[in-house]
C-alpha cells in the first residue's frame, strides 16, 4: 500500500469513527443512560525477595491496583492471597487517583521470596458515565510534559482546529497517529514538545502530544495509565500502557493514538491512574518497596 493510500485509509477510518461515535452519543443522550457494563476479572503477581542474609523487620511493599471508580469503570472486588491494607485517598483527591495495596511483614526471613497475587473484578462501560458538575479547568492548562502553551504546539493545533470540536479531535488524532514513530517502551518521560520536535516516542509521548494539542484548542484532555484488556486475563505488568481521554458533550472519551483507536472498544481500557505531571504523578512505579529494608520487587518488565 502506497503512502497516499495509507493516508486516505486512515482519514476514512477517522471520519467513520467520528461519525459513528456522534451517532452513538446521540442515542445515549436521548436514552439518558449508557449501555450496561461488562464485568472482567484480572489477576497479576509480583515477586518480593530479600536478597540479603539479614532478617528484615517491618518490611512493606505497595502495589498498584485498578482505580476504584472512573467514568468508564467501577471496581467491584479486590482480594489477595496476602493480608493487605487499602489506604484511603486524601479528601482533596478524586477516587480515580493512584491507589495501592499496602503489604506489610513484621519479619521477612533472609533470602526469602514471597509471591503476591492480586485479583480484581472490574465493571467496564463502553460509553462513559456522566460525572455531574466536574471541574474541567485542570485539563485545559499546560503542565510539565504537556506544553500546550508552547508556540510550536499552539501553531500546529491552529492548523488542526475546526468549528466542530469532534472534528478537531479527529484531525488531532490522525496527525499524532500518522506523524509519530513508535520506538517501544522508554523509561524516561520526554513529553509532548519532545514528541513534536523529534516525531518519535513511546505510548506516553503519543498520549501527551494528543493531550497538549487538544488543550491548545480548548478541548479538555488528560493522559491515563493502565492496561488494555479485551477480556478477563492474567496481566503481564510489562504490558502497562498510556493513552488519553478527551471531554466532549458532557462525557469523557478514549483516544489511543499509539494503537490507532479513537472512541472504539472503550470498555477494554482499565484505568489504574491518571497522569498529572504538575503534581509529579507521571512516572509512578507500579510496585514500590519500603525504604526500611533491601527488598527487591520483580515484575516481567
Q: What is the pLDDT, as a whole number, of residue 101?
A: 93
Q: Cα angle at 148 between 145 and 151, to 5 degrees? A: 110
Measured distance CA(69)–CA(43) in Å, rounded? 18
User: What does the buried/exposed string (b/e) look like for 197-213 if buried means 16 or more CB atoms within 10 Å of the residue's CB?
Assistant: eeebbbbbbbbbbbbbb
What the chain holds in terms of domains, given with CATH numbers, is 38-125 (2.60.40), 131-279 (3.10.620.30)
226 touches 273 (CB < 8 A) = yes
180 to 15, 36, 201: CA distances (angstroms): 20, 36, 7
Largest CA distance in the chain: 66
Q: Indicate the SS3 state at residue 89.
A: coil
H helix and E strand count, the chain? 5, 16
**Beta-bridge partners for 224:** 243, 274
DSSP state, 88? P
Comparing CA positions, the residue from 124, 8, 112, 98 lying closest to residue 55 is: 112
Comparing CA positions, the residue from 37, 43, 84, 97 lying closest to residue 227 is: 43
- The x, y and z cell numbers of residue 122, run together, are 472490574
Backbone φ and ψ for 201, nearest 5 degrees, come out as: 160, 180
Measured distance CA(268)–CA(66) in Å, rounded? 13
295 touches 289 (CB < 8 A) = yes
* Per-residue pLDDT tens digits of the chain, which is 301 residues long: 554 544 554 455 545 444 445 444 444 444 456 678 999 999 999 999 998 999 998 888 999 999 999 999 999 999 999 999 987 654 444 444 578 999 999 999 999 999 999 999 999 999 998 766 789 999 999 999 999 999 999 999 999 999 999 999 999 999 999 999 999 998 889 999 999 999 999 999 999 999 999 999 999 999 999 999 999 999 998 899 999 999 999 999 999 999 999 999 999 999 999 998 876 655 666 777 765 557 888 775 4
Q: What is the pLDDT, as a whole number, of residue 163?
A: 96
pTM assigned to the model:
0.85
DSSP state, 150? S
Amino acid at each position: 500500500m502506497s503512502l497516499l493510500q495509507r493516508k486516505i485509509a486512515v482519514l476514512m477510518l477517522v471520519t467513520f469513527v467520528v461519525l459513528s461515535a456522534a451517532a452513538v452519543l446521540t442515542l445515549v443522550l436521548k436514552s439518558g443512560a449508557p449501555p450496561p457494563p461488562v464485568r472482567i476479572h484480572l489477576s497479576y503477581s509480583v515477586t518480593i525477595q530479600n536478597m540479603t542474609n539479614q532478617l528484615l523487620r517491618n518490611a512493606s511493599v505497595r502495589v498498584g491496583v485498578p482505580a476504584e471508580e472512573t467514568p468508564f469503570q467501577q471496581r467491584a472486588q479486590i482480594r489477595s492471597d496476602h493480608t493487605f491494607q487499602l489506604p484511603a485517598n486524601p479528601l482533596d483527591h478524586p477516587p480515580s487517583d493512584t491507589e495501592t495495596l499496602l503489604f506489610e511483614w513484621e519479619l521477612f526471613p533472609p533470602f526469602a521470596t514471597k509471591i503476591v497475587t492480586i485479583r480484581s473484578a472490574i465493571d467496564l462501560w463502553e460509553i462513559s458515565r456522566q460525572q455531574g458538575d466536574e471541574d474541567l479547568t485542570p485539563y485545559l492548562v499546560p503542565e510539565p510534559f504537556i506544553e500546550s502553551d508552547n508556540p510550536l504546539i499552539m501553531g500546529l493545533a491552529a492548523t488542526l482546529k475546526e468549528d466542530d470540536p469532534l472534528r478537531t479531535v479527529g484531525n488531532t488524532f490522525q496527525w499524532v497517529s500518522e506523524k509519530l514513530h513508535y520506538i517501544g517502551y522508554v523509561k524516561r518521560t520526554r513529553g509532548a514538545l519532545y514528541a513534536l520536535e523529534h516525531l518519535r516516542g513511546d505510548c506516553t509521548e503519543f498520549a501527551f502530544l494528543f493531550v497538549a494539542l487538544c488543550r491548545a484548542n480548548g478541548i479538555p484532555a488528560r493522559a491515563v495509565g493502565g492496561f488494555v484488556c479485551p477480556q478477563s486475563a492474567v496481566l503481564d505488568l510489562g504490558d502497562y500502557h498510556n493513552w488519553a481521554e478527551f471531554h466532549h458533550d458532557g462525557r469523557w472519551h478514549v483516544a489511543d493514538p499509539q494503537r490507532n483507536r479513537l472512541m472504539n472498544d472503550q470498555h477494554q481500557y482499565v484505568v489504574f491512574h491518571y497522569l498529572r505531571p504538575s503534581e509529579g504523578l507521571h512516572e509512578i512505579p507500579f510496585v514500590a518497596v519500603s525504604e526500611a529494608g533491601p527488598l527487591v520487587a520483580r515484575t516481567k518488565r
